[in-house]
Amino acid sequence: MSLRTLGVDAYQLSTLIAHHDLGRSAQRVGMAFFFRRLPKFRNHVVFCGLRQILEHAAQMAFTHEEIDALLLHPMLGPALAKRPELLETLRALDGFEGDIDALADGTLAFAGPALRTDGTPLVVAGAPLSIYIPLLQVKTDMVRAKLIETPWLGFINHLSMVASKAARIVSVAGGKPVLEFGTRRTHPDAAVDASYAAYIAGCSGTSNLAAYTRHGIPAVGTMDHFAIQASEKNGESIFETEREFYATFTGIFPDHGTLLVDTYSTERGLRNAVEATNGKLTGVRIDSNVSVASMQSARKILDDLGAPHVKIFVSDGLDEVRVRELAPYVDGFGVGENITCSPDAATGVSAVAKLTVNGYGKVTMKLAKGSGKATLPGELQAYRYADHDLVTLAHEAAPAGGEALLAPVWRGRALAKSQATLDATRSHVKAQLAWLSPELRAPEVHAPPRRIVASDGLVAEVARLTKEAGL
């Protein structure tokens, strides 16, 4: 179970060795995970990945074989071998220890230009400050801090990317089901996470049986072209063998058989599907040449065959543009790579993790003068209002009327509270998306970003640290 623990950037261990030599291994530090700006073409991000992060936290450990492999590394091995105390700390690692505060899985997150409470822009070190809603805030020892940054960012970036894309597609489907079909487009492990992210964001199900067994997500499917082609026989018409397979398949699954009709000819496939099932056909899937005109034609053929009740499901490389166009003419969608791989924002949500309080208790921020990449200092809280979010220092008094977004999820060596159920998380996402303004819910980016305000206390802390740095 420790491969994810070892899945860190090499510099995490090389710098850990330097921290060890400086006597910092046992120091406790504060970190924040966040993104500085919304990804291209996005009005909001559906934060996702907390469940996977907490599973990772519980399982953190190294096997003997992995420690032995580290000792063979040409750079790290000799340095670790000379530091038996640090090596023993790594061998003894047994789960995460510390505090984690986080947004609930499925919470909408925003980032953008920082505003003061008077509405004026906040400038830091010569550039407008980008302000953000922290996704996670973590307090832990130096060793664990170096081991969580890489994998936890991986979870956040991948799952938030998928959830945000799925929400966009579901939002334009006219209330018709969207099924996530992208398992074959990514790594098998990532595919299970993608199914989870797509489902909480509103997809009705997945093609992935592993996601069904692990998370209880409805696993659905139709049939493949392979099945139709495998039925071909020498000396027999391909349309006859297609019809024979349809009859066999619907005999096995009379209430669930949706037939794929475009292997040879969509028109002939539709006719074969109706004839082979004696008018009891419930649904067809079309995966080729999908357009408004072809779907209108398919519906007319079914109506003419006395099968107006048959539902039409489509796939064929769909995205939110085509789903919105097709929604009035079909009954459901299967979307693969354009959810799981999200090609218009394929690098995730650009989440990063930065130190906010170091092991000496010093509040710190990355200033990056003139770049606009300054980070926020210290431990924070964020409050949601109807028309803006407010980011404060954690110790500031809670303002009236706002919903606090960050809550304890881990304390010490265990969960601080039970995780939300899958259904509760889906409902959480759905309610938030319904609450968004039409402009921020739309797939197009028309409107200015959601307003995010820095409290007076946070502004003063930023000013103090900037002055302290002489910038």
pTM of the entire structure? 0.95
pLDDT for residue 163 is more than 60:
yes
CA distance 335 to 157: 20
pLDDT in tens, 413-449: 999 999 999 999 999 999 999 999 888 888 887 778 8
Radius of gyration of the chain (CA): 26
Alpha carbons within 13 A on the beta-carbon side of 232: 10
pLDDT for residue 1 is more than 50:
no
pLDDT for residue 342 is more than 50:
yes
- State the pLDDT at residue 399: 96
Q: Which residue has the tokens 């002939």?
A: 268
Q: Is 143 in contact with 25 (CB distance < 8 Å)?
A: yes
Give the domains, in start order, of the chain with CATH numbers. Answer: 164-345 (3.20.20.70)
pLDDT in tens, 35-50: 999 988 899 999 999 9
What's the mean per-residue pLDDT of the chain? 95
- 112: tokens are 């953008």
- State the pLDDT at residue 341: 95
- State the pLDDT at residue 40: 83
- Cα 20 to Cα 15, 40, 187: the distances in Å are 9, 40, 36
- State the pLDDT at residue 127: 86
| DSSP3 helix / strand / coil % (the chain, rounded to 5) | 40, 20, 40
Report the candidate in 176, 183, 165 with the shortest Cα–Cα distance to residue 224.
183
CA distance 381 to 401: 14
Per the DSSP assignment, residues forming a β-bridge with 112 are 131
CA distance 221 to 286: 13
- Cα 146 to Cα 12, 27, 30, 36, 66: the distances in Å are 5, 12, 12, 21, 17
pLDDT in tens, 180-221: 999 999 999 999 999 999 999 999 999 999 999 999 999 998
% the chain with pLDDT above 70: 99
Span 267-277, average pLDDT: 96
- State the pLDDT at residue 3: 56
For residue 253, the tally of other CB atoms under 10 A from its CB is 12
| Residue 383 or residue 372, greater confidence | 383
- State the pLDDT at residue 165: 96
**3-state secondary structure (DSSP) of residue 13:** helix
Angle at CA of residue 416, ends 414 and 418, nearest 5°: 100
CA distance 331 to 308: 12
